[in-house]
Amino acid sequence: MAEPMKVRAKLAGDVLDVKILISHTMETGQRKDAKSGQVVPAHFIQNVTVDLNGKTAVAAQWGAAISKDPFLGLKLKGAKAGDTVTVNWEDNKGGKGSGATTIT
pLDDT tens figures, 55-69: 999 999 999 999 999
Strand partners, 98: 88
- CB of 26 within 8 A of CB of 67? yes
Structural domain span for residue 57: 5-102
pLDDT at residue 4 in the model: 85
CA 45 to CA 68: how far, in whole Å?
10
* Residue 86: count of CB within 10 angstroms of its CB: 17
pLDDT over 50 (residue 1)? no
pLDDT digits (tens, 9 = 90+) for 18-46: 999 999 999 999 999 999 999 999 999 99
Number of domains composing the chain: 1
What stretches of the chain show up as alpha helix (H) in DSSP?
none
Q: Check which CATH number belongs to the domain holding 87 and give it.
A: 2.60.40.10
